[in-house]
Amino acid sequence: MIKGKFITFEGCEGVGKSTQIRMLKEYLKTTNQEAIFIREPGGNSISEKIRELILDPANSSMTSMCEAMLYSSARSQLIEQVIAPALDNGTTVICDRFIDSTIAYQGYARGLGVQKIKLMNELVCGDYMPDLTIFLDLPPSDSFKRKGGHDKSDRMELESIEFHNDVYSGYIEATKLYPTRIVRISPRGSKSDTASAIIKTLQARGLIQ
C-alpha cells in the first residue's frame, strides 16, 4: 500500500526546478521532515546509463519514439527500484521531472501525440503517479536567459528555441490533461518568494507540514 507522498517538479530548461528542490530540501530538513530527492532520467545505475544514452549529443539520429521509450524505460526502473519502495515505506519522494516531461517533450514537441505518451506512461507508472506536480510556469524565452545559454553537453538543450516553445505548449496541454494534479506556480518572483509559494501549496494539499 502507498503511504508516502509523491511530489514532482516540472518546467522548461532553466526555470528553477533544481533551485526550488534544493530550497524545499532545506525547509524539510530544518522542520525535521523526511524525504528522498531524485532526478529524471536517472536515480539508479541503469537509469543513469539510459540518461547518458539519451542526452549524448552524438546520438542526434535517435528517433522520437526511441527517445520516448528510453525515458519511459528509465522511469520504470526508477519506480521499481527507488520510488515504490520509498512510498510503500511512508517516505516522501520528491522528483526533478517525471511523466509530464515526456508528455511535453516527446508527446507534444516531438509530435508523438500527448494521448499516446500519456497512456504509455500511465502503464509505466501504475499506482505510482505523483500526488502533486509543481509546474514552474515560465516560457523558454525567459528561462534560457536565466541559465545564460544552452548546455552543449545536453542533446535536449541543444534543440531550437521553436522546439523549447513547443515544450512549453506541451506543458500547458499536460495541465489540461491533469487539472487537479498539476499546479502552475510562476517563478518570476525571487527564489525565496517562489519557495514560499511552493511550500504553501504543498501544505494546503496536506503533502508536507
Ligand X SMILES: Nc1ncnc2c1ncn2[C@@H]1O[C@H](COP(=O)(O)OP(=O)(O)OP(=O)(O)O)[C@@H](O)[C@H]1O
Let me know: does 131 contact 5? Beta carbons within 8 Å: yes
| The one among 5, 6, 10, 14 contacting ligand X by CB under 6 A | 14
- Measured from the CB atom, the residue of 24 and 117 that comes closer to ligand X is 24
Task: Candidates 187, 199, 202, 208: give the one binding ligand X (CB under 6 A).
Answer: 187
Q: How far is the CB of 167 from ligand X (least distance, A)?
A: 10
Longest CA–CA span in the chain (Å) reads 47
Q: Reduced to 3 states, what is the DSSP secondary structure of residue 56?
A: coil
Residue 203 binds Mg ion, judged by CB under 5 A: no
Among 18, 141, 186, 209, binds Mg ion (CB under 5 A): 18
Question: 86 — alpha (psi -120 to 50), left (phi > 0) or beta?
Answer: alpha
Quick one: cell of 187? 517563478
- Find the binder of ligand X among 16, 43, 130, 140 (CB under 6 A): 16
Site string for ligand X, 136-175 (x = CB under 6 A): ----------xx----------------------------
Our separate counts of H helices and E strands in the chain read 9, 5
Match 511530489 to its residue by C-alpha cell: 7
Using CB under 6 A as the criterion, what x/- string covers residues 96-125 for binding ligand X? ------------------------------
- Measured distance CA(56)–CA(102) in Å, rounded: 17
**What is the grid cell recorded at 31?**
522542520
Report the interface residues with ligand X, using CB under 6 A: 11, 13-19, 146-147, 187, 190-191, 194
